[in-house]
Amino acid sequence: MTKITAAISAVGKYVPDYILTNKELETYVETNDEWITSRTGIKERRILKGEGLGTSYMAIKAAEDLLQKSKGNAAEIDLVIVATATPDLPVASTAAYVASKIGAVNAFSYDLQAACSSFLYGMSTAASYIESGRYKKILLIGADKMSSIIDYKDRATCIIFGDGAGAALFEPNHEGLGLQDEYMRSDGIGRDFLRIEAGGSIMPPTLDTVKEKKHFVYQEGKTVFKYAVSNMADVSEKMLTRNNLTEEDIQWLVPHQANKRIIEATAKRVGVGSEKVMMNIHKYGNTTSATLPLLLADYEEQLKKGDNLIFAAFGGGFTWGAIYLKWAYNS
């Protein structure tokens, strides 16, 4: 019997209509377009506007895009995983709601939270289920409404983050395509440098925590940047050395879109030129759990069956990792 591998068979995406430009941000905080662009590579980001709309709204739209493009049947999906750092509600799973709304009536579902590494960890999880032979179709959605947890008076974070969602369907493959190798890491030291202080079990919400703005993302930029650069580059390089790959064997680097300088440092270590690096940070900013699937959706038409892709991400926790995947279809 041939070994079952887990391949991506379809992708989808959704980004909100509202565009928050660097120019508009100049009216919120002391900054300017040149400063933001030179340090982050970001020109604009999408913001989800509208009463009562949360992460699930975008996740549903991305899933519907995937199903419509691939002519898929939601009732055939076995599992829905929503990778997110901004669930609709505490306790009530966002994934359960999304699965019901898209008609995945035969699926079980849950949320997965690993900050900016959520989708990458989700890829590992989805692939493991497929490889086990237990499930055949797994829908992995990365979605975040970062605007719901950002203080637009905090220059360290408001220029970086945006809202969006992307989806990927994982299915068994018997041609050896799909996920080939992975290396995942985490280190609890990270909670001191990137977090939301209040709202969890250590510091439940009070009037004071709200007044003191403790429900927004806090980031110690320089420290996070340093860890992200070294760790994302390390794990990406490991995918090559461990699988006897050279930069010539790699068709695409698929890096988490946190900061253009982090992406460039990772590409340099892997040894690939900019023409092999997927990038859309200038359009969407850092959409946290949605960065990797948004890249796949944006570059889908350029991908060819058999292409070697190296995924890499770094996020709060700290969490980070890399995946080596062979693309399974031509668009």
Backbone angles phi, psi at 329, to 5 degrees: -155, 160
Q: Which two tokens stand for residue 88?
A: 């609709």
331 assigned to some structural domain = no
Please identify which residue in the block is written with the tokens 């992460």: 55
Task: Write the DSSP string, 109-175.
Answer: EEEE--GGGHHHHHHHHHHHHHHHTS-S-EEEEEEEEGGGS--TT-HHHHTTB-EEEEEEEEEEESS
266 lies in the same domain as 300:
yes
Q: What is the pLDDT of residue 1?
A: 58
Mark which of 151, 176, 201 sits at the end of a domain: 176
How many distinct structural domains can be found in the chain? 2
Same domain, 169 and 196: no
Are residue 213 and residue 72 in the same domain, yes or no?
A: no
Task: Let me know whether 221 and 283 are in one domain.
Answer: yes
- Looking at the structure, do residues 227 and 141 belong to the same domain, yes or no? no
- According to DSSP, the β-strands at 217-219 and 252-255 are unpaired
Do 48 and 162 have their domain in common? yes
For residues 278 and 263, give the distance between their C-alpha atoms in angstroms, rounded to a whole number.
Answer: 9
Of residues 218, 215, 257, the one with CA closest to residue 44: 257
Do residues 185 and 170 both lie within one domain? no
The catalytic residues are: 116, 256, 286
CA distance 78 to 105: 9
Residue 319's nearest CA partner among 3, 28, 83, 56 is 83
Q: Judge contact between 162 and 45, C-beta under 8 A.
A: yes
Domain boundary (176, 209, 236) is at 176
112, burial (CB in 10 Å: exposed 0-12, middle 13-18, buried 19+): buried
Determine the structural domain holding residue 274 and report its residue range.
Answer: 180-326
Do the Cβ atoms of 168 and 62 come closer than 8 Å?
no
Residue 190 shares a structural domain with residue 295:
yes
Residue 78 lies in a domain: yes
- Same domain? For 165 and 193 the reply is no
Domain boundary among the residues 150, 176, 202 is at 176
Q: What is the pTM of this model?
A: 0.98
Q: Are residues 36 and 63 in the same domain?
A: yes
Per the CB < 8 A criterion, the answer to whether 41 and 281 are in contact is yes
Q: What is the DSSP letter of 154?
A: -
Same domain for 188 and 168: no
Start-to-end CA distance of the chain, whole Å, equals: 29
Per-residue pLDDT of the chain (331 residues; tens, 9 = 90+): 589 999 999 999 999 999 999 999 999 999 999 999 999 999 999 999 999 999 999 999 999 999 999 999 999 999 999 999 999 999 999 999 999 999 999 999 999 999 999 999 999 999 999 999 999 999 999 999 999 999 999 999 999 999 999 999 999 999 999 999 999 999 999 999 999 999 999 999 999 999 999 999 999 999 999 999 999 999 999 999 999 999 999 999 999 999 999 999 999 999 999 999 999 999 999 999 999 999 999 999 999 999 999 999 999 999 999 999 999 999 9
Instruction: List the CATH number of the domain containing 258.
Output: 3.40.47.10
